[in-house]
Amino acid sequence: MAALLTVMDFLLRLTLASFIKSMIKVKNLSKSYDGRRVVNDVSFKVDRGQTLVLLGTSGSGKSTTLKMINRLIEKDQGNVWVNDQDIDVSPSHLLRRKIGYVIQQIGLFPHYSIAQNIALVPQLLGWHKARIDGRVNELLNLVGLEDTIKHRTPDQLSGGQQQRVGLARALASDPEIILMDEPFGALDPITRAEIQSEFKLLKKSMHKTVIIVTHDSKEAFELADRVALMNNGRIEQIGTPKELLFQPASDFVAQFFASHYVELELTAIKINELLPFLAPVEMDKKVSGPLPVDISVSEAAQHNRSGAISFSADKNDFIIPEGQLLPLFYANLNHVVP
């Protein structure tokens, strides 16, 4: 009977969770240090499976806001709900075990092996050894690392490998939510671009709810479903990358993106928005692809510089000849800008 009740309780929780659209809700959040308000009346929500990027310059309050969600920093005012539960109800350490966390400094324990670093939270949750070992191997494969590295220590890995391990550790207990504070900021440009692309693929397959902090506008536009641009502890505007770029709510928002406007145009527009201006063709096996239709024009253009690229959508195939993506983009920009 007890086992039946446990199963029924699980199914009830699963059913209720499917009706909870907003995975994270933040209302009137504020924090002060030495009388100075560093986060000022911030409110937003993140729907299940969505990625929100907190974007802004240093000191805008974005990292402090993030850390108040998993209670690494305690708020002064306001409320935060995670999966429809007030975060103040349970002890902070139990809350953090349910939320993956990735930081720029990576934070791997130097004297632990890679496997031990990844296994940390599952061990705290009481997983048995066979389950932990299987999860470690699964995650190393997921983030593109050979399982032969699991007995090494962090100092024996490159910066890119360490960041992949940090992501694997955040995913170890299969949390529904992942918080990421400048996760790719310490990497060289090539490694950074590679891991960003890999992260986007992981995000689609895992259906996690993610909040990312960054000061990099292009990174924000590449990774976000929605962007919250912060300034002096407040949210200046929140919306899709297209909304922030083409429909700025204030002079500050417009000026923030002005210096990289052309590059951000290419990042804010996705390939699927250009497909209506292409005629379907029969797929040529010599053409690379098909590429995902939800990648940015910027990312697709990198492939198009060295050859023709292809896409598949709605049972149709499309080919863009080498070097022709950007002319296509600019010829139809007025039709895809809101």
**Number of domains the chain is built from:** 2
Q: Tens of pLDDT along the chain (338 residues)? A: 555 555 555 555 555 444 557 899 999 999 999 999 999 999 999 999 999 999 999 999 999 999 999 999 999 999 999 999 999 998 998 899 889 998 877 688 999 999 999 999 899 889 999 999 999 999 998 888 898 999 999 999 988 888 889 888 988 988 999 999 998 877 788 888 888 888 888 888 888 999 999 999 999 999 999 999 999 999 999 999 999 999 999 999 999 999 999 999 999 999 999 999 999 888 777 776 788 898 999 999 988 988 999 999 888 899 999 999 999 999 999 999 87
pLDDT of residue 147: 87
- 230 lies in a domain? yes
Same-domain check for residues 212 and 305? no
Same-domain check for residues 167 and 294? no
Same-domain check for residues 77 and 105? yes
pLDDT of residue 9: 59
What Å distances lie between residue 30 and 69, 81, 153, 162, 208, CA to CA? Answer: 12, 15, 39, 33, 26
Distance CA 23, CA 225 (A): 14
Last residue of a domain, one of 249, 266, 283: 266
pTM: 0.86
Same-domain check for residues 184 and 257? yes
Q: Tell which residue, 113, 106, 117, 29, has the closest CA to residue 71.
A: 29
- Scan for tokens 């975060």, then name that residue: 87
Same-domain check for residues 191 and 284? no
In which domain, by residue range, is 138 found? 22-266
Last residue of a domain, one of 225, 251, 266: 266
pLDDT of residue 11: 55
pLDDT of residue 1: 52
Distance CA 123, CA 194 (A): 30
Q: Which residues of 48-57 are buried (b: 16+ CB within 10 A; e: fewer)?
A: bbbbbbbbbe
Same-domain check for residues 139 and 240? yes
Taking phi first (over 0 means left), then psi (-120 to 50 degrees means alpha), and beta for anything else, what does residue 74 get?
beta
